[in-house]
Structure 1
Amino acid sequence: MGEFEHSIDNKGRLIIPAKFRNQVGSTCVVTRGMDHSLSVYTMEEWDKVKQRLAQLPSTKGNARKFVRFIFSAATECEFDKQGRINIPQNLLTHAEIDKKCAIIGVSSHFEIWDADNWSTYQADAAEDFDDIAEEIGDLNF
């Protein structure tokens, strides 16, 4: 849970908030996410993701594309003593990250966004929030 803003340095290092670091451990997996974001998983959660992806039908072209898209970019990242991870350039390019990042909690993982892209995404989602809630069903709030 939560939303934080940090800046990435010129070496591709990003400070991960202690709240998330404490839940992740010393190593995490970073890969491409949806909507030009990056998804960050604990090693345990990554194992679950791998299992779910392995269940996709390899006879379906889009399933193969999706699996390749996720696995080809996945990288293990270790936290340094300052609580930073080093994000590879191909992932920074995918997420359109230049400097400022939004780090957001999303259920079983967290995501890293370019801060401007996250602001735009939030504004768009806020406009359609009631319609989205209705479309996805009874949330029981």
Structure 2
Amino acid sequence: MFLGTYAPKLDEKGRIILPAKFWDELSSGVVLTRGQERCVYVFSSATFQQQLEHLRNAPLTNKAGRDYLRLFLSGASDEVPDKQRRVTIPPMLREYAGLDRELTVIGAGNRAEIWSTEAWNAYYAEKEEAFANTEEEVIPGIF
């Protein structure tokens, strides 16, 4: 499970050092892909396969499903971290998410997310007040 917030740096070769707490789950391979709100999703290879199985069940007759699947999978890149826990973020994904040297990596349950620090701070500032003042059930069965 991915939890927490981290502030690694992107090196000159487009690599990031994965947070040590994520290493056990990601050491055998990761899949990076486009995420919502212009971040990069980071899945373990096994979790990505599970996500792919769910996506395969979408009916081909559903245009929104086809569109989502195309964008999600065309941006996917499978990577193997090196011995220093570094993984290369492909240029296309760095551009998509507006990544530069300053990054924020958050745990999001079954995945990690890589954000430009500027984008994360703006997102957090916009959403935190509503989160703090939530008075009704947002996700069925939670709280």
**TM-score normalized with structure 1 length:** 0.93
Q: Aligned in 2, Cα 1:126/1:30: closer, same or farther, shift over 3 Å?
A: same
Residue 22 of structure 2, aligned match among 8, 13, 20: 20
Question: Using the alignment, how far apart are the partners of 2:72 and 2:7 within structure 1?
Answer: 25
CA root-mean-square deviation: 1.5
Give unpaired runs (5+ residues) of structure 2: none
Matches of residues 115-130 of structure 1 in structure 2 within 5 Å? 115-130=117-132
- 1:35-89 deviation line (CA, Å, top 9, x unaligned): 0011111111011110111111211111111000011011111111211000100
**1:37 matched to which residue of 2?**
39
Query: Which structure carries more helix by proportion?
Result: 1
Offset at residue 26 of structure 1 (A): 2.4
Q: Aligned in 2, Cα 1:134/1:69: closer, same or farther, shift over 3 Å?
A: same
Question: Using the alignment, how far apart are the partners of 1:133 and 1:85 within structure 2?
Answer: 40
**1:139 matched to which residue of 2?**
142
Q: Check whether the contact 2:34–2:93 (CA below 8 A) recurs between aligned residues.
A: yes
Matches of residues 5-84 of structure 1 in structure 2 within 5 Å? 5-84=7-86
Give unpaired runs (5+ residues) of structure 1: none
**1:104 matched to which residue of 2?**
106
Residue 89 of structure 2, aligned match among 87, 90, 106: 87
- Aligned residue pairs total 140
Query: Which structure carries more strand by proportion?
Result: 1
**TM-score normalized with structure 2 length:** 0.91
Aligned-residue identity in percent: 31
